[in-house]
Amino acid sequence: RVMQRHVSRATAGLRSLDQGDLRGSLLQFATDYLEHCNQPHVGQACRVIAADAAQFPEEARTLYRHGAGALTLHLAEWIETVCMRGQLRHDDPHFMAELLLSMIAGLDFEKQRFHTPHRADAAVRRRWAEFSVDSFLRAFATPETAAASHSNQHRSFS
């Protein structure tokens, strides 16, 4: 149940697809995902799970399957629908989902794990979400969708 709630919260932004605003849907998803993953209890849970994964490999695989695996699958299904609507170029939706999640997450979780400065501020996370989504759309948007506005402004997070 906990993992289902995590996936449900993380994919809530994708529901705005019905309005046809691809960038807005992806941006809401990215922002929600970063906000959720930046909560202290999420990082703590990840550290506990990682620490015990070798001792309880089957349980760890189950948690992955119902957490990150389910999130990736849900996102891939959504991407496949968007591709069928002609808003994104047809490619492997599972690869696209994994790439998008990686772009959104960046190195934040590694930085948090090593107690290194990360995007702890909501405004900075929002700028990163915009950069990630715009980069993803530059890679996969159809020419019709690409005509929509994307920001190319300089954003430095180093």
Residue 151: its pLDDT value, please? 54
How confident is the model over 115-146, as pLDDT tens digits?
A: 777 787 899 999 999 999 999 999 999 998 87
How confident is the model over 42-79, as pLDDT tens digits?
A: 767 777 777 888 888 898 888 888 888 999 999 999 99
Q: What is the model's pTM?
A: 0.81
CB proximity list for 96: less than 8 A, separation 6 or greater: 76, 79, 88, 140
Dist CA 109 CA 94 (whole Å): 22
Q: With 70 as the cut, is the pLDDT of residue 12 above it?
A: no
| Domain assignments of the chain as residue spans, ordered by start | 2-146
Torsion angles phi and psi, residue 141, rounded to 5? -65, 145
Dist CA 86 CA 83 (whole Å): 5
Are the C-beta atoms of 123 and 53 separated by less than 8 Å?
A: no
CATH node for 2-146:
1.10.357.10
